[in-house]
Amino acid sequence: MQSVIDALAVMGGVGTTNSLRLAGVSRRSIEAGVFAGTVQRVARGVYALPDADPLLLHAGRHHAVPGCVTALWQRGCGWSGVRKNRILPPGMVGPSLAVWRIAAAFP
C-alpha cells in the first residue's frame, strides 16, 4: 500500500480523497497523516503536503484544478495577445461570464 506522502508527492503536493484512494492510499493512512501533521486538510476531501505549491493549494481550497493558462505560466512560458470578452447567453439577465482568449507564445 502506498503512503499518503508518496502519493501526494506524485500528484504535485495536492490531491483529493478520491485520487488518493485510487492511488492505493487507505482512509486510515490519510487520517493518520493529518493527525501526525505530515499532511494538511485544505478543504473537504482535499489534502496537501505542507510544502505544496501555493498555487495548487489555492486551487485545492476551491476544489479547482489549474487550467491551460496557469500551466503555461507555471512552466515559465510567456503569452501575449490577452483579450477579455464578456458573454451573456440569450435571455439571461445578470452578471456576464468573463472569458479570456489568449494567444500563447511558446519559447
Mean pLDDT of the chain: 78
Contact 12, 52 (CB under 8 A): yes
Which region, left, alpha or beta, applies to residue 16 given φ > 0 means left and ψ of -120 to 50 means alpha? Answer: beta
Give 66's DSSP letter. Answer: -
Domain ranges of the chain: 4-61, 68-105
Work out the average pLDDT over 89-103. Answer: 48
Amino acid 66: pLDDT:
77
Q: What is the pLDDT of residues 43-64, one digit of tens each?
A: 999 999 999 988 889 889 988 8
- What are the backbone dihedrals phi and psi of residue 59, each rounded to the nearest 5 degrees, phi first? -60, -45
Which region, left, alpha or beta, applies to residue 76 given φ > 0 means left and ψ of -120 to 50 means alpha? Answer: left
**What distance in Å separates the CA atoms of residue 74 and residue 34, rounded to the nearest whole number?**
28
Amino acid 72: pLDDT:
67
pTM, entire model: 0.68
